[in-house]
């Protein structure tokens, strides 16, 4: 049982958690929601024991496992050893196997005197293997790898040869393999394609342990969750709702509607009483006590008016183009790329014209990110050529915030783009909700959604005419996601983007899709939405 009592947390003068208490019972599945920057990840880190709170206490079940939101930037993945070792290590199975193997060897070479002792140890080692599920372990591990759709990973592969994305997924495999009494997951579907995310949802639904999961993925919260914990960004307190995310919406929708209704009724009553009071005033001294009692009633009603929750602060943005490019923006000719013997794509050719909006679609591992990187010359091609048109000015949004220098402050990072115009820099940062002292915050301490907002703010400052975007909406909360989608919908330049966010695509109104890995361009219409969701 997880028991969290009266947590308190501030960053400097900023209050994040105020008296937060909750429990997650064995087998219970709780979804933690809240807007970007509310403090969800901070709270989960405290729960996982990786961060100190200013007050309060946490009592954890005997076994628990934690997956960070920014795992790509956190080391901790063993670089040595095989995938099998790394995964087995989560339960101590790797040492048990080593012990067993070394004992077998010793027994083979032992003389009579030691043998008895060794055999006894050997029997114990066998028991441990049994207890730790050694005989099913490979199969279980392979099942998890297949479920998360990790292409090209075998148990004997050295961890050091895996790509960043593969390592991230492997960390999740390891956690699920460990199968602790409590899973603490911070936006685990961000780096999964839709099929793998769907698999994870089902896995979590059937999971026997307890779960505390942060997600902006409403589908996931609808399927695997038995209660919703909402971190309120105004009160910094936690609200608890029984049931799934949809249940939460009805409950809070109802509560909000009820509040609004009460407020309206009270307002009507107040205005009626005011009129009466005014009328009585005309009678002068004769009606004074009557009037006073009515005024008192008005004051009472006014002070008991329910406070409607403020609407979350919204980002307000547009993406300006500083100078238009030539008509032909980009020409890709017979592009081929392989990593070692693994072919990613072969002989892809296409053109991009000014104002075109092209969405790149394909399953995980189909080479979408690689394609973008080769187009920009970040990753070399094996063959083929990319020709950029005249006056093309690229804005690149890299997956997992690769484009940000984590040691910089927000202001420093943004003013590098436009060093001579701090006023504009501050004003654009403000629209992305980096106000006041917040601009001096170190990037490595920003929340997931805030890092995305900063990367987008940099792009706005730069005024590019070709946007190359790799999953730009993953870390954003639902409101920001729509605002960014709409702003890009109004963008005047050319867009090439990877995404599987269907809502985002609707806002974007693309004209064509580029299907990977075959590299075919098709005309976009709504029929492709399902394909997008799967991609
Ligand atoms: N070390 C720190 N110093 C100052 N501020 C910090 C620090 N760490 C986090 N913050 C701020 O605290 C707030 C909460 O951060 P947290 O990462 O917990 O948010 P979150 O709810 O997980 O948001 P998201 O949905 O964007 O991931 C953010 O505004 C963040 O910038
Ligand atoms: Mg977070």
226 or 403, higher pLDDT: 226
pLDDT tens for 346-359 read 999 999 999 999 99
Centre of ligand 2 to C-alpha 131, Å, is: 36
The residue-averaged pLDDT of 229-240 equals 92
Tokens 């050893």 belong to: 81
CA pair distance 448, 53, nearest whole angstrom: 20
Return the number of other C-beta atoms located less than 10 Å from residue 49's C-beta.
12
Mean pLDDT value across the chain:
87
Q: Which two tokens mark 525?
A: 């219409």
Query: Do 338 and 368 meet the contact criterion of CB atoms below 8 Å apart?
Result: no
- The response to whether residue 38 sits with its C-beta less than 6 Å from ligand 1 reads yes
Average of per-residue pLDDT across 285-291: 82
Asked if residue 80 has pLDDT above 70, the reply is yes
pLDDT score of 532 more than 70: no
Measure 214 CA to ligand 1 centroid, in angstroms: 14
Cα 79 to ligand 1 centroid, rounded to whole Å = 29
Q: Does residue 36's CB lie within 6 angstroms of at least one atom of ligand 1? A: yes
Q: Is 68 in the pocket of ligand 1 (CB under 6 A)?
A: no
Q: Does residue 305's CB lie within 6 angstroms of at least one atom of ligand 1?
A: no
**342-353 vs 328-339, strand pairing mode:** antiparallel
pLDDT of residue 272: 84
| Integer Cα distance of 361 and 531 in angstroms | 8
Q: Could you write out the three-class secondary structure of 276-295?
A: HHHHHHHCHHHHHHHHHHHH
Out of 214, 450, 474, give the residue to mutate to test ligand 1, the one with the largest number of ligand atoms within 8 Å of its CB: 450
**Residues 166-210 pLDDT 10s:** 888 899 999 999 999 999 999 998 878 777 888 898 999 999 999
Question: Is the Cα torsion angle 253, 257, 263, 266 positive or negative in sign?
Answer: negative
Q: CA-CA distance, 413 to 406, in Å (whole number)?
A: 9
Mutate which of 13, 39, 45, 433 for ligand 1 pocket (most atoms within 8 A of beta carbon):
39
User: Which pLDDT score, from 0 to 100, does residue 254 have?
Assistant: 67
3-state secondary structure of 391: coil
User: Which residue's C-alpha comes closest to atom 11 of ligand 1?
Assistant: 446
Which ligand ends up closest to the CA of 17?
1
Name the residues around ion ligand 2, CB cutoff 5 A. Answer: 41, 69, 447-448
Asked whether the predicted pLDDT for residue 446 surpasses 60, the reply is yes
Read off the pLDDT of each residue in 291-312 and give the average, rounded to a whole number: 76
440 ligand 1 Cβ < 6 A? no
Q: How far apart are CA 451 and CA 406, in angstroms?
A: 10
Confidence (pLDDT) at 102: 87
**535 alpha carbon to ligand 2 midpoint, in Å?**
24
Percent of the chain with pLDDT over 70: 94
Q: Say what angle helices 134-147 and 93-109 make with each other, to 10 degrees.
A: 140
Which parts of 48-188 fold into alpha helices (H)? 83-88, 93-109, 112-131, 134-147, 164-178
| Straight-line distance from the first to the last Cα atom of the chain, in angstroms, rounded to the nearest whole number | 37
Per-residue pLDDT tens digits for 31-68 = 999 989 999 999 999 999 999 999 999 999 999 999 99
Residue 40 Cβ < 6 Å to ligand 1: yes
**List of residues 6+ apart from 418 with CB closer than 8 A:** 424, 425, 461, 462
> Does ligand 1 lie within 6 Å of residue 439's CB atom?
no
For ligand 1, what atom is nearest to the CA of residue 35?
25
More confident: 386 or 262: 386
**Antiparallel, parallel or unpaired: β 210-214 and 29-33:** parallel
State which ligand 1 atom lies nearest to the alpha carbon of 34. Answer: 21
Q: Report the separation in Å between the CA atom of 180 and the middle of ligand 1, taken as the mean of its atom positions.
A: 27
Distance from Cα 449 to the centre of ligand 2, integer Å: 7
Q: Is the pTM of this model over 0.85?
A: no
323 lines ligand 1 (CB under 6 A): no
Rounded to the nearest angstrom, the distance between the alpha carbon of 450 and the centre of ligand 1 is 8
């Amino acid at each position: 049982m997880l028991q969290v009592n009266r947590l308190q947390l501030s960053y400097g003068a900023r209050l994040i958690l105020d008296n937060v208490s909750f429990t997650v019972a064995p087998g219970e599945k709780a979804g933690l929601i809240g807007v970007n920057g509310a403090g969800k990840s901070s709270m989960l880190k405290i729960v996982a024991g990786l961060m100190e709170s200013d007050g309060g206490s946490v009592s954890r079940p005997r076994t628990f496992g934690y997956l960070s939101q920014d795992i790509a930037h956190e080391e901790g993945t063993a670089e040595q050893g095989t995938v099998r070792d790394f995964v087995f290590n989560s339960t101590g199975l790797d040492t048990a196997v080593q012990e067993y193997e070394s004992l077998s060897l010793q027994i083979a070479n032992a003389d009579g005197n030691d043998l008895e002792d060794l055999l006894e140890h050997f029997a114990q080692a066998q028991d441990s293997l049994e207890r730790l599920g050694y005989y099913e372990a490979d199969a279980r591990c392979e099942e998890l790898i297949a479920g998360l759709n990790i292409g090209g990973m075998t148990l004997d592969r050295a961890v050091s040869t895996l790509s960043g994305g593969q390592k991230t997924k492997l960390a999740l495999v390891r956690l699920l393999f460990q199968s602790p009494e409590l899973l603490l997951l911070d936006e685990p579907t961000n780096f999964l394609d839709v099929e793998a995310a769907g698999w994870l949802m089902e896995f979590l639904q059937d999971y026997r342990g307890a779960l505390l999961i942060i997600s902006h993925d409403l589908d996931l919260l609808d399927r695997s969750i038995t209660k919703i914990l909402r971190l309120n960004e105004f009160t910094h307190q936690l609200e608890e709702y029984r049931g799934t995310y949809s249940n939460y919406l009805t409950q809070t929708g109802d509560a909000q509607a009820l509040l609004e209704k009460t407020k309206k009724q009270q307002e009507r009553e107040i205005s009626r009483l005011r009129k009466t009071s005014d009328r009585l005033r005309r009678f002068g001294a004769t009606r004074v006590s009557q009037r006073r009692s009515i005024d008192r009633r008005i004051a009472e009603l006014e002070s008991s008016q329910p406070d409607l929750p403020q609407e979350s602060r919204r980002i307000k943005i547009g993406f300006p183009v500083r100078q238009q490019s030539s008509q032909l923006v980009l020409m890709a000719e017979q592009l081929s790329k392989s990593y070692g013997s693994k072919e990613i794509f072969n002989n892809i050719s296409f053109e991009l014209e000014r104002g075109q909006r092209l969405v790149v679609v394909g399953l995980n591992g189909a080479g979408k990110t690689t394609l973008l990187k080769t187009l920009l010359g970040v990753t070399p091609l094996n063959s083929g050529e990319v020709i950029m048109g005249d006056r093309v000015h690229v804005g690149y949004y890299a997956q997992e915030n690769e484009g940000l220098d984590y040691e910089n402050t927000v202001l420093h990072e943004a003013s590098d783009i436009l060093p001579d115009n701090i006023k504009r820099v501050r004003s654009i940062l403000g629209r992305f909700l980096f106000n006041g002292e917040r601009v001096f915050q170190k990037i490595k301490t920003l929340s997931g959604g805030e890092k995305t907002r900063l990367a987008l703010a940099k792009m706005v400052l730069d005024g590019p005419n070709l946007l190359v975007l790799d999953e730009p909406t993953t870390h954003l909360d639902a409101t920001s996601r729509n605002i960014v989608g709409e702003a890009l919908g109004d963008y005047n330049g050319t867009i090439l983007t990877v995404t599987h966010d269907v809502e985002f695509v609707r806002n974007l109104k693309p004209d064509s899709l580029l299907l990977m890995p075959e590299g075919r361009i098709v005309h976009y219409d709504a029929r492709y939405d399902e394909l997008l969701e799967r991609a």
